Amino acid sequence: MMCRLSSPRRLMPVPPCHESMSPLRISVGSLPVLASMTKGADPRFRLRWRAIVLSSACVGFVLLLFCLHRSPPARPIPPNPHGRHLRLQEEDRYNDTYPLSPPQRNPEGVRYRIGVIADLDTQSRGSEEHTWFSYLKKGYLVLSASGDSVTVEWDKEESVLQSHLAEKGRGMELSELVVFNGKLYSVDDRTGVVYQIEGNKAVPWVILSDGDGTVGKGFKAEWLAVKDEHLYVGGLGKEWTTTTGEVVNENPEWVKVVGYKGDVSHENWVVNYNALRAAAGIRPPGMELPLVAACPLPCLGSPHSRWEQLLEGGTARAVSSSCVPWAKGAPALLWGVGRGRLRAGGSENTHSFGLHVSVLCCSIF
């Protein structure tokens, strides 16, 4: 069999390796942008790159200026140790402000801010359960310009002070009102609680126990006095006796000395109270109830008869203040309030003595 041979095809010549890669433009001829990327010297690409760099630099510069001029966020001011130290120093100091309200002077005279507080005794029990109360009334004491007359102007409103502290069903029998360390204080003669008066509130501050401070009973506080940045709290000033006059203990003849931070010390004033008796010419079994120390006047006294039962008010006896530690040299005083009776030894004898019924205690503040 004879086979016909076809004529050989002409093969395309292979370009040498060193020629340019121009065929890329042929294969992507329809994409001139991609083609232009292969040429680093394309002037159009160079112009766009510079614009992008310039724009980015401008934006970055603006952001930098914004950050530099932006107000920093408010930060809490760190406490100043020096300022805190000064505040602590001020709190540590005794506040000797008195009176708390400056006197008001006018052509008619001088007006002093005053307050009175009530000792309701057994009537201090409130209608609510476990509640005891007292009254605080404020006003002005007006001393005339000539000094020969005094008038009192009362506020329309009165405050009712309440507490839930009591001893054997009694409490808030407030005996005294005094300014101490820039604050107003009173004391309950049943529980021994010293209250700080804040507006219409009675806030318990310290509790005073009877006698030398180790007795499990509240101190029967009857008077308050301020001396040398301390609050002196005194009691009856006589021995505690039975209803027939037998001496039980000397606890009421102790005095509590309270610092303005609330620290309490206990002082035995038996010697001082006996000196008060002697100054009034009273000897045992005679008795005296001073009940005051800032102005040492007896409120109840009998020169010869022992204490048995208090009935009615009468006349206080003369007292020399030389026996009071901080009032030595003051003249003797006499205070007359009428006549009264004192039972002694089963018989009723008439004597001169003063009766202190602690119903209202007045204080300038």
Pull the structure tokens for residue 19: 């020629």
Would you say 173 is a known binding-site residue? Answer: no
| Rounded-to-integer distance, Cα 276 and Cα 303, Å | 12
Sorted by where each starts, the structural domains of the chain and their CATH numbers stand as: 92-364 (2.120.10.100)
Please provide residue 298's backbone torsions phi and psi, each rounded to the nearest 5 degrees. Answer: -75, 145
Would you say 348 is a known binding-site residue? Answer: no
pLDDT value of position 194 = 98
**CA-to-CA separations, 107 to 101, 144, 217, in angstroms, rounded:** 19, 9, 52
| Rounded-to-integer distance, Cα 5 and Cα 266, Å | 144
pLDDT value of position 313 = 43
Residue owning tokens 């009254």: 135
| Rounded-to-integer distance, Cα 193 and Cα 174, Å | 9
Helix (H) or strand (E) holding 32: helix 32-37
| Rounded-to-integer distance, Cα 21 and Cα 32, Å | 15
pLDDT value of position 204 = 98
pLDDT value of position 267 = 97
pLDDT value of position 173 = 96
pLDDT value of position 282 = 77
pLDDT value of position 63 = 80
Provide the residue type at 252 as one letter. Answer: P
Task: Identify which of 335, 272, 285, 342 has the alpha carbon closest to the alpha carbon of residue 312.
Answer: 342
Is the CB of residue 207 less than 8 Å from the CB of residue 191?
Answer: yes
* Sign, Cα dihedral of 274, 275, 276, 279: positive
pLDDT value of position 320 = 41
pLDDT value of position 283 = 74
Task: Identify which of 205, 208, 212, 206 has the alpha carbon closest to the alpha carbon of residue 189.
Answer: 208
Q: What is the mean pLDDT of each run of 10 residues along the chain (365 residues)?
A: 48 50 45 49 57 78 74 61 61 89 91 92 94 95 91 92 96 94 96 96 97 96 93 92 88 96 96 83 70 48 52 42 43 30 32 32 61
pTM of the shown model: 0.64
Is the CB of residue 249 less than 8 Å from the CB of residue 210?
Answer: no
Would you say 176 is a known binding-site residue? Answer: yes
| Cβ-based neighbour number of residue 138 at 10 Å | 15
DSSP 264: E
Supply the DSSP string of 77-132, one letter for each residue: PPP-HHHHHHHHHHHHS-----SSSPPEEETTEEEEEEEEEE--GGGGB-SSTT-E
pLDDT value of position 68 = 72
| Rounded-to-integer distance, Cα 148 and Cα 146, Å | 6
| Rounded-to-integer distance, Cα 314 and Cα 301, Å | 9
| Rounded-to-integer distance, Cα 27 and Cα 32, Å | 11
**CA-to-CA separations, 49 to 40, 52, 63, 354, in angstroms, rounded:** 12, 5, 21, 112
Please provide residue 122's backbone torsions phi and psi, each rounded to the nearest 5 degrees. Answer: -70, -10
| Rounded-to-integer distance, Cα 165 and Cα 160, Å | 15
